[in-house]
Amino acid sequence: MTVTTIFKKSNDELSKAAVNILVEVVNKLLQQQKQVVLAIPGGRSVAAIWKLLASDHRIPWRKIQVLMADERVVPITSGQSNYRLAYDTFLKKLIEAGELPEENLHPFIADKGSSNYNKELKKYGGKPDMIILSIGEDGHVGALYPNHHSVKDSSEGYIAVDDSPKPPLERITMSRKTMLKAKTALLLFIGEAKREAYEKFKAGDDIIECPARLAKQIKDSYVLTDLK
């Protein structure tokens, strides 16, 4: 297991570094396999990355299947939807440019529930090849929260959460077990508000106490931060 930490002083520099890692990892994986399953998050930290991806042409998007690492249980048209943020910021532009087939997008449809989304994941091998994770102030990733049943759940695939410590209450998330199957993880600790989470991440290995630490058990992980 390898964890590579990359420090940059600004969000712009971190976002560029994240895109470069994504490009490198995806193209390396495509030398060994026909497609890449990419799991993406929501959160403020990724917005700048999405904007850069909209105009970056180094990724062969036709070979990328895009699923959500986690999602709020809301319609995909909702302003709270993680998918909508990604779609409005970069996925729609890639579709309009003819780079990304719309059928490669796999949003979570709230009305169909988590069992249906698990079927979607299984179509593509049941696990992500690469997962991007923005970290919460408490060290949560996706909707896996510290010392919460979500992170203790040993299920495969996606799990439903109806008592999220952070609103909204209802969410869906890749389980701990499924996140750990990723070949590569990209973690974002951006901004002073994430300092406590970053210090917890570095201080130990117990995933239950700090879910972000699961990255330490993934084959290749990259930690991007502006914190020293």
**In the chain, where are the structural domains located?**
2-173+194-225
- What DSSP line would sit under 77-121, residue for residue? TSTT-HHHHHIIIIIHHHHHTTSS-GGGEE---GGGHHHHHHHHH
Asked if CATH classification 3.90.105.10 holds for the domain at 2-173+194-225, the reply, yes or no, is no
Q: What is the pLDDT along the chain (228 residues), one digit of tens a residue?
A: 899 999 999 999 999 999 999 999 999 999 999 999 999 998 878 999 999 999 999 999 999 999 999 999 999 999 999 999 999 999 999 999 999 999 999 999 998 889 999 999 999 999 999 999 999 999 999 999 999 999 999 999 999 999 999 899 999 999 999 999 999 999 999 999 999 999 999 999 999 999 999 999 999 999 999 998
